[in-house]
Structure 1
Amino acid sequence: MPGSTLNLTLLTSQEITNLKWFLWRTGSPSPILLQAGTCVSLTSSRGRALLSIVNITYKWAASSFNTSDSQCFVLAVQRCPAADTTYTCDLQSPGLSPLRVLVSVTIIQGGDTTCPEDSSAGAWNVTKAGHVAQAPCPGNKTGTVKRTCRPDGAWGPNHSSCTDTGLLALLYRARLLRAGQGWPDEEVPQILAQLPDQVVVVTSPSDLLALVNTIKVLAKIVASARIQLNGSALEALLKTTDKVLDMDASSLWTTARAQISAVGSNLLLAVETLACSLCPQDHPFSFGLPNVQLQTQLLRPTLPSDYRVSSSTQPMLQAHIPKHSLAPLGHNGTNVSVTSLMLQKLDHFLPSNYGQGLGDSLYATPGLVLAISIMAGGQIFNKAEVIMDFGDTNGTPHCVFWDHDLFQGKGGWSDAGCQVQAASASPTTHCICQHLTAFSILMSRHTVPKNTLLELLGQVGLGASIVALLVCLGVYRLVWRFVVQSKVAYLRHAALLNVVLCLLAADTCFLGASLLPPGPHSPLCLATAFLCHFLYLATFFWMLAQALMLAHQLLFVFHQLSRHRVLSLMVFLGYLCPMGFAGVTLGLYLPRGQYLGEGACWLDKKGGVFYTFVGPVLAIMGVNGLVLAMAVLKLLRPSLSEGPQVEKRQALLGVIKALLILTPIFGLTWALGLATLLEEVSIVPHYLFTALNTSHGVFILLFGCLMDRKVQEALRKHFCRSQPPNSTISLATNETYIP
């Protein structure tokens, strides 16, 4: 019965040796060998042998899935039903249980919206709106074609699941081999030899999936039965693979991947497995096509030199395995064979899955995958150091390999055991991995190429910012006691002084970070990134403290807080809050390997960690904008009862000027910073971002310090040794309210 299990036991009084089981189909010219497979199990002991076949299907009874004696049963309906009707068809065969099939019939009545008969895109009869018409596949295809009749009576596109019968025949033959029927040593090469002729009939995603599944099943048979393939069988596989990789991505690969996302990963694993199965007699072997290149070398036990291989692909790829990695394999005198397989375009058909540490960004690959395998003494070895050169790459590369076990077996890119190493005196990048598998390189799709002018602009801007901040500190050293004579002025300049100190320390750390060796294993690099995160956040939180102090002065004129209490609150907001943000970020993202960016002592811009910096900054910019709007409205409509004193008014105007000037500068800078993270931006935002971001100190010196009226008067008094005009002194010391 279909789906049941067949058990046959042979009992004999003699010891059983070299026992074979055969399946003899009715009408078949010769018996079929049964071997251990997914459905066949063979066990034997003294005087007893057991054959077990599980999950028997109709394919076990026929040599082909297509039968010529099929019949069509016609139901004659005497009266058309008034509504849609479901008919029941019971099929009875001798010796089998009845098979019940439900057949739904749609009734079209007068006035119903319908799609008209259409023979331009197939034989489509009149169909009721909202229903799906179904027709058999035309020509030498098996399956169905479906087409939806839209509610407005217009036909939708065709959706085909048609598969070429020749491809299906090869797939079913391979599956029967995998199940346990046939002679794998003979039939696997025969099926491979037929694939190049069958690949030309691939015209639909179903055809592509059937072809890839056939190669996948053959690879599993070869791996489980330890079959060795000759050179001609391998050439047939490589020719087929080359044509598959040239197939149209939009019409075939995209739809096939939508049905089975791992179809590219399945093809990669299957071709890898089959390429490693070349019989020793055919070594060395070399075969190249535009999308596929295979090279094998047979190394002597003495292993005189490194293993080196290069490709003629674009981009060009070079790889070599050092002698010290190969030496332990030849200690018993056996030959060592090394196989390298290069596949062009296949990485574009792999799922966009990225393992831990690579973030969730989209990457671009160079269009090349390299797979290397080492065999010694009949065993495959996966542990060896391999050094690869993928040519000149723009942006920050990641050396990765395709791990078939990630994402529940769908596969994904992983950088475990691989690292990037810049080549000396060369613009190329070396990938060094400690294992052998399918390698490639990942690059951010929208990474701005390394720009010497941009780097120089950033360094010069940071240097100018640091000098300006030092000048600002020197100015405060001279005029401090003259500009902080009132509480409001004291708090305003205290906040600005802390902004200067935090930004000076942050810029110094950031400039020094470029001199440190990047990497998560560098404690100094990690400490520098943490300090930069904390200090830049503190700069913005002190700006927030200025804004909140201004808001309090405007809203609560008659409920003033003491200088000590306000300063304590500002210190808490300016230092403890950013310290909390930076500490929590470090604790959350460092254990995941997502804290530091690639090749820099700064936060990783590809993951969520960077938004723990951008988020607070944007929130502060929003609060500052609200306070500025409120301050402008207050100053435009002054009140007699709540008008501040002249000196307080001047200090508040200074705060507003500082916030009004500094807030757009900082806001514009980080708006451009976010623009540089978006897709497909030009180089212009990067230049503007670098110029403004590295010039904060200059703007603070000019607009926050030197343009302050009190600071100017104090400087004139210090350098000119002359008293300012009486009117100025009068305004500075007057305690009455402005009428």
Structure 2
Amino acid sequence: MKTAVCQTDGEWKLLEDTCIITEFKNLLLSSEDLIVDDVANFVANLSDTVGEFKEQIVNSTATISAIVEILDNIAALNIQEVSRDSMQDILDTVDVIVGDDSRESWVVLNANETRNVSSKLLSSMEILSDVLIGTFSIATERIFLDRTTFNNSFKADLNNSVVLDIPNTDISNIPITTITFFTLNIVMPARNTSFNINTNSNDTLPDNAINAAVVLVKLNATIQNVTLSYSKLNQSLSLHPQCVFWNFTLLNNLGAWDDEGCEFISEINNTVTCRCNHLTSFSILMATDIPRAVREALEIITYVGVGISLASLVICLIIEGYVWKAITRNSTAFMRHVSIINTALSLLIADICFIIGASISKNLEEDYEASVDPCSTITFFMHFFYLAVFFWMLVSGLLLFYRTVMVFSHMSKSTMLAIGFILGYGAPLIIAVITVAVTAPQDGYISKNNVCWLNWSPTKALLAMVIPALTIVFINIIIVIVVLFKMLRRGVGNVAQNDEKQTLVVILRCVVILTPLFGLTWSLGVGTIVTSNNNGIHITFALFNSLQGFFILVFGTLFDSKIRSILSRKFPTTSTTSNTTRSTSGGISSLSGLNWIRRLRRNIYRVSEATNSRSTGASESFTNI
């Protein structure tokens, strides 16, 4: 019988499965009356049957549980010797039930009433490994066993997953057995000593994960110094590594990961080194995320910020549409506002995709296979439109360069528009498509951390966002430096100074947009990857990233004096008396700044009119941006 519950999203979640494949029900009954002399033939029959029904087994929690019970019955027989052939059959059996395609079944098994099926499996392996005879190696797809002779010291690289090092001892000529389980991280729960045994959930510490192979070490002697160096399974995890072993007696014999007698030594180049004073089954636990309290704060900041950003972008587009005819009377102003509108539109769509992606991400943990396609689709559009934001900012930077450095050159509106759209949307589309084509066949396009975003480890798909973004920021910074140098150089010559002051206003406005909005935000984004345990960087990045739409409204639209002038004529406001306004130092400072800008503007326009007959093109370039 199978028991499932209908969730709020309409999907069914399996709670219990008592349907055992008939052949394994019979084998389970036989194992209860098994004698030592029949073990070899029995495990051979078990292995053959598992191979015949492996596709059905991985989706049947009851059958997996029955197989573990069979192995436990075999281990309880007090067998004195297990041969290589018998151990091969046992490992072939275990290999099938610990594969990635059985992940969902183990989630159910670890969350049921007993919650110790995985612990019972590991216990059986420990018991059987202790009675092996001979020296040999066995390798299956997901397991590697090595049995050799220990002489004073021991060092072994266990299939590039774990390096085991036992230094000099007084022990010689005794067998040592190691079994490395490469996928037992999906079988064993990540619960530790803080697990609440009374909860109905399997979560121990929801932010923890087993991030290395599980290695079982058996040696019939007391060892007080063993060093293990693990290769991390998920290289993006770097928070709070814990060196642990599986303690079968914890939590009323439920079993959990324990760090007693083990200590963390170092983490270098994605290799975590631990030292323990005993032998058993080892692995490492690592935090899958920043602390829960900080994560909750980040979620609040992000969603409130994205809401403000969406509202700001809508207001920005409405304002730009309202003043469009009045402010696009020349090619420079036309392209500047085309860039602002497309930057805002791209970010608006990207933020909407982000909200949809967040909703899909919640389903990834419950049904990864069903959610992976919509998650990949929304990730593609987020990648494309976030890139478009940066490339339209590059268009703005190139426009600044063109109109301030190449003053006397001329380009038609249609040509500028074509270049803008090719660069603003064509380049992001090419990068987004190439990213999918390269990483999707390796199943490395989207993140493995139940988030709809680009993968970091192992394909580094996220670099397809970070590298173009920071490259554009760098290019725009170079443009600003060149323009400043050009302006200062002209200031020494015979060019009208007021024109240069107007250029300075334009440059300052672009710097205000480029530096904090794009450079700082995505530099912090890189920082969250490099120093993922720095809560301050995470919070600052969330704040700046979620408020980008607000920054575009303020610095891209409202800081434009022409737009403010048009809006003030349409929506006149009643000002308070000047005495009241100037009663505070802040008011005086604000008015002084505004008066300085107004005087600067008047001087610029006077010079522009005076020099109109000599350099009409140059005047337009400086005064209408």
Q: TM-score, normalised by structure 2?
A: 0.51
Specify whether residues 654 and 578 from structure 1 end up closer, same or farther in structure 2 by C-alpha distance, changes over 3 A only.
same
The alpha carbon displacement at 1:644 in A equals 11
Match of 2:177 in 1: 270
Match of 1:584 in 2: 434
Distance 1:316 1:265 in 2: 31
The alpha carbon displacement at 1:675 in A equals 1.6
Aligned-partner SS, 1:595: coil
Specify whether residues 686 and 360 from structure 1 end up closer, same or farther in structure 2 by C-alpha distance, changes over 3 A only.
closer
Specify whether residues 575 and 367 from structure 1 end up closer, same or farther in structure 2 by C-alpha distance, changes over 3 A only.
same
Matched, 1:599 2:450: yes
Match of 2:342 in 1: 498
The alpha carbon displacement at 1:719 in A equals 2.4
Match of 1:367 in 2: 244
Distance 1:572 1:717 in 2: 36
Match of 2:382 in 1: 532
Spell out the pairing of 1:122-271 with structure 2 (5 A cutoff): 219=132, 221=134, 256=155, 264=164, 270=177
Spell out the pairing of 1:279-294 with structure 2 (5 A cutoff): none
Distance 1:314 1:391 in 2: 7
Matched, 1:353 2:231: yes
Match of 2:517 in 1: 665
Match of 2:402 in 1: 552
Q: 1:705–1:711: 8 Å Cα contact kept in structure 2?
A: yes
Specify whether residues 342 and 462 from structure 1 end up closer, same or farther in structure 2 by C-alpha distance, changes over 3 A only.
farther
Specify whether residues 670 and 263 from structure 1 end up closer, same or farther in structure 2 by C-alpha distance, changes over 3 A only.
closer
Aligned-partner SS, 1:443: strand
Give the AA of the match of 2:466.
Answer: V
Specify whether residues 732 and 717 from structure 1 end up closer, same or farther in structure 2 by C-alpha distance, changes over 3 A only.
farther
Which structure is larger by alpha-carbon Rg, 1 or 2?
Answer: 1
Aligned-partner SS, 1:603: coil
The alpha carbon displacement at 1:620 in A equals 0.7
Give the AA of the match of 2:421.
Answer: V
Match of 2:312 in 1: 468
Give the AA of the match of 1:459.
Answer: Y
Pick from 450, 461, 465: which aligns with 1:613?
465
Q: 1:370–1:440: 8 Å Cα contact kept in structure 2?
A: no
Match of 1:684 in 2: 536
Greater percentage in helix: 2
Specify whether residues 696 and 652 from structure 1 end up closer, same or farther in structure 2 by C-alpha distance, changes over 3 A only.
same
Q: 1:509–1:532: 8 Å Cα contact kept in structure 2?
A: yes
Q: 1:662–1:700: 8 Å Cα contact kept in structure 2?
A: no
Aligned-partner SS, 1:473: helix
Match of 1:514 in 2: 358
Distance 1:635 1:472 in 2: 31
Specify whether residues 638 and 220 from structure 1 end up closer, same or farther in structure 2 by C-alpha distance, changes over 3 A only.
farther
Give the AA of the match of 1:474.
Answer: I
Q: 1:219–1:271: 8 Å Cα contact kept in structure 2?
A: no
Give the AA of the match of 2:230.
Answer: S
Distance 1:707 1:537 in 2: 24
Q: CA RMSD in A?
A: 5.1
Distance 1:584 1:465 in 2: 29
Give the AA of the match of 1:352.
Answer: Y
Match of 1:568 in 2: 418
Distance 2:191 2:358 in 1: 37
Q: 2:498–2:607: 8 Å Cα contact kept in structure 1?
A: no
Distance 1:547 1:620 in 2: 9
The alpha carbon displacement at 1:484 in A equals 1.1
Matched, 1:456 2:306: no
The unaligned stretches of length 5 or more in structure 2 are 1-79, 85-127, 138-149, 167-173, 181-186, 198-215, 249-253, 259-280, 575-597, 620-625
Q: 2:315–2:553: 8 Å Cα contact kept in structure 1?
A: yes
The alpha carbon displacement at 1:453 in A equals 1.5
Give the AA of the match of 1:443.
Answer: M
Q: 1:311–1:317: 8 Å Cα contact kept in structure 2?
A: no
Q: 1:479–1:714: 8 Å Cα contact kept in structure 2?
A: yes
The alpha carbon displacement at 1:482 in A equals 1.0
Tell me the alpha carbon deviations over residues 218-253 of structure 1, each in whole angstroms, 9 at most, x when there is no partner.
7353999xxxxxxxxxxxxxxxxxxx9xxxxxxx99
Q: 2:238–2:532: 8 Å Cα contact kept in structure 1?
A: no
Distance 2:353 2:191 in 1: 45
The alpha carbon displacement at 1:630 in A equals 1.7
Distance 2:189 2:217 in 1: 10
Aligned-partner SS, 2:348: helix
Tell me the alpha carbon deviations over residues 601-638 of structure 1, each in whole angstroms, 9 at most, x when there is no partner.
11123341111111111111110101111222233343
Tell me the alpha carbon deviations over residues 124-174 of structure 1, each in whole angstroms, 9 at most, x when there is no partner.
xxxxxxxxxxxxxxxxxxxxxxxxxxxxxxxxxxxxxxxxxxxxxxxxxxx
Specify whether residues 731 and 599 from structure 1 end up closer, same or farther in structure 2 by C-alpha distance, changes over 3 A only.
farther
Specify whether residues 443 and 500 from structure 1 end up closer, same or farther in structure 2 by C-alpha distance, changes over 3 A only.
same
Specify whether residues 362 and 689 from structure 1 end up closer, same or farther in structure 2 by C-alpha distance, changes over 3 A only.
closer
The alpha carbon displacement at 1:718 in A equals 2.2
Matched, 1:704 2:556: yes
Aligned-partner SS, 1:661: helix
Q: 1:546–1:655: 8 Å Cα contact kept in structure 2?
A: no
The alpha carbon displacement at 1:488 in A equals 0.7
Tell me the alpha carbon deviations over residues 533-558 of structure 1, each in whole angstroms, 9 at most, x when there is no partner.
11111100110111112112223222
Pick from 286, 300, 314: which aligns with 1:443?
286
Specify whether residues 453 and 446 from structure 1 end up closer, same or farther in structure 2 by C-alpha distance, changes over 3 A only.
closer
Q: After the TM superposition, which of the residue ranges 632-641 and 256-265 deviates more from structure 2?
A: 256-265
The alpha carbon displacement at 1:492 in A equals 0.7
Distance 1:543 1:623 in 2: 10
The unaligned stretches of length 5 or more in structure 1 are 1-183, 189-214, 225-243, 245-251, 274-307, 319-340, 372-387, 393-437
Q: 1:586–1:595: 8 Å Cα contact kept in structure 2?
A: yes
Tell me the alpha carbon deviations over residues 705-738 of structure 1, each in whole angstroms, 9 at most, x when there is no partner.
101111111112222499x999799769954548
Q: TM-score, normalised by structure 1?
A: 0.44
Specify whether residues 480 and 644 from structure 1 end up closer, same or farther in structure 2 by C-alpha distance, changes over 3 A only.
farther
The alpha carbon displacement at 1:561 in A equals 1.3
Specify whether residues 269 and 719 from structure 1 end up closer, same or farther in structure 2 by C-alpha distance, changes over 3 A only.
farther
Distance 1:656 1:603 in 2: 34
Q: 1:628–1:660: 8 Å Cα contact kept in structure 2?
A: no
Distance 1:585 1:668 in 2: 25
Specify whether residues 185 and 257 from structure 1 end up closer, same or farther in structure 2 by C-alpha distance, changes over 3 A only.
closer
Give the AA of the match of 1:622.
Answer: F
Specify whether residues 718 and 589 from structure 1 end up closer, same or farther in structure 2 by C-alpha distance, changes over 3 A only.
same
Q: How many residues align?
A: 382
Aligned-partner SS, 2:286: strand
Q: 1:315–1:391: 8 Å Cα contact kept in structure 2?
A: no
Aligned-partner SS, 1:367: strand
Give the AA of the match of 1:605.
Answer: W
Distance 1:694 1:463 in 2: 8
Specify whether residues 727 and 465 from structure 1 end up closer, same or farther in structure 2 by C-alpha distance, changes over 3 A only.
same
Aligned-partner SS, 2:393: helix
Give the AA of the match of 1:609.
Answer: A
Q: 2:444–2:455: 8 Å Cα contact kept in structure 1?
A: yes
Give the AA of the match of 1:503.
Answer: L
Distance 1:560 1:706 in 2: 29
The alpha carbon displacement at 1:664 in A equals 2.8
Give the AA of the match of 1:586.
Answer: V
Pick from 526, 533, 551: which aligns with 1:674?
526
Aligned-partner SS, 1:574: helix
Q: 2:342–2:392: 8 Å Cα contact kept in structure 1?
A: yes
Give the AA of the match of 2:177.
Answer: A
